[in-house]
Amino acid sequence: MSTLSVEELQAILEAAFPGNDVPHVEQVLGDTVLVRQPVTDRHGRPGGTLSGPTMMMLADTSAWMAILAQVGPVLLAVTTSLHIDFLRKPDVTDLMARATLLKLGRKLAVVDVSLFSLGHEELVAKAQVTYSLPSSAS
């Protein structure tokens, strides 16, 4: 069962990154969160696709949200590893991330992230993200 709600996670994102176009936490269900990144022309790249950095940002952010949903507002959890495979060209539309916590240890948390375009089922990218948790989180 999750510790933080959609509203609490969204408040953390907005406080941590004021003035930025932060993603929207759509759902928290057990060890999985669904996060949406609103996409504008500035998220695109030549060829009519989304930029890799946009996809990596959403993978990382959604992994952080999946962890915080379980452990509470441990804001000093930091990314130690992010591996991403770009699978197909995404539409230039809102990007969705489904982040599932695979392992929550005392020092590390591992999250699987599936990225897909809003309204589509097929994955555009797949990521695995590892976070280091501060000792106060254990």
CATH classification at residue 98: 3.10.129.10
Given a contact cutoff of 8 angstroms between Cβ atoms, the answer to whether 133 and 109 are in contact is yes
Q: Around Cβ 103, how many Cβ atoms within 10 Å? A: 10
Given a contact cutoff of 8 angstroms between Cβ atoms, the answer to whether 51 and 119 are in contact is no
Res 136: pLDDT:
64
The stretch 38-63 carries a mean pLDDT of 84
Residue 44 located in a structural domain: yes
Given a contact cutoff of 8 angstroms between Cβ atoms, the answer to whether 53 and 45 are in contact is no
Q: Kindly tell me if the per-residue pLDDT of 3 is higher than 90.
A: no
Res 74: pLDDT:
84
Which of the four pLDDT bands, split at 50, 70 and 90, describes residue 31?
very high
Res 18: pLDDT:
86
Residue 94 located in a structural domain: yes
Res 80: pLDDT:
97
Residue 66 located in a structural domain: yes
Within the chain, what is the greatest distance between any pair of CA atoms? 46
DSSP letter assigned to residue 77: -
Residue 70 located in a structural domain: yes
- Residue 11's domain comprises 6-137
The stretch 20-43 carries a mean pLDDT of 89
What DSSP assignment string belongs to 52-77?
Answer: HHHHHHHHHHHHHHHHHHHH---TT-
Res 88: pLDDT:
93
How many structural domains compose the chain? 1
Residue 128 located in a structural domain: yes
- Give the pLDDT confidence of 67-113 residue by residue, as tens digits: 999 999 888 899 999 999 999 999 888 999 999 999 999 999 999 99
Helix 52-71 vs helix 6-16: angle between axes, to the nearest 10 degrees?
Answer: 120
Residue 1 located in a structural domain: no
| Two structure tokens written together for 51 | 């930029």
Which of the four pLDDT bands, split at 50, 70 and 90, describes residue 48?
confident
- pTM for the complete prediction? 0.92
Query: Distance between CA atoms of 78 and 70, rounded to whole angstroms?
Result: 15
